[in-house]
Amino acid sequence: MPTILLADDSTAQRELIAGLLTDNGFSVTTAMDGAEALEKLKSLAPDLIILDVVMPKLNGYQTCRSIKSDPKTEHIPVILCSTKNTQVDSYWGLKQGADAYIIKPFPHEELLGTVKQLLRNS
């Protein structure tokens, strides 16, 4: 069962996304912000990471940059999810090393399809 690390400061979003992933056969570990996600990465080896962009302490861009600059975690696919929906936001997310950028609110099939595709490719 693939393990996904999910970081989102919104309890409702965290529960919604975690529930969707769990219902579809994934094991999910959650974090409330980027700093907690990076801390959990010290003892967890997830198959994929989903990050909200707007979070306290470390935002999704900063967290993604940190993940992708560490040789121990650079291979882990990262999906950025955000309500920030301009082309610049998406471009900037991909420049930070993200493997995908999904705009909230998203159809459940879009997130599941992206997760499955990235897991197949990794």
For 86-114, write each residue's pLDDT tens digit: 888 888 889 999 999 999 999 999 999 99
Domain CATH number, residue 23? 3.40.50.2300
3-state secondary structure 66-93: HHHHCCCCCCCCEEEEECCCCHHHHHHH
Percent of the chain with pLDDT over 90: 88
Domain housing 11: 3-121
- State the pLDDT at residue 90: 87
Q: Is 16 helix (H, G, I), strand (E, B) or coil?
A: helix
State pLDDT tens for residues 67-79.
999 999 999 999 9
Token pair recorded at residue 103: 């705009």
Q: Whole-angstrom Cα distance, residue 43 to residue 91?
A: 31
E strand or H helix at 5: strand 3-7
Query: For strand 48-52 and strand 100-103, is the pairing parallel, antiparallel, or unpaired?
Result: unpaired
For residue 41, the Cα-to-chain-centroid distance in whole angstroms is 12
Q: What is the pTM of this model?
A: 0.96
Cβ neighbours, 10 Å, residue 34: 26
Number of folded domains that form the chain: 1
- End-to-end alpha-carbon separation of the chain, Å? 15
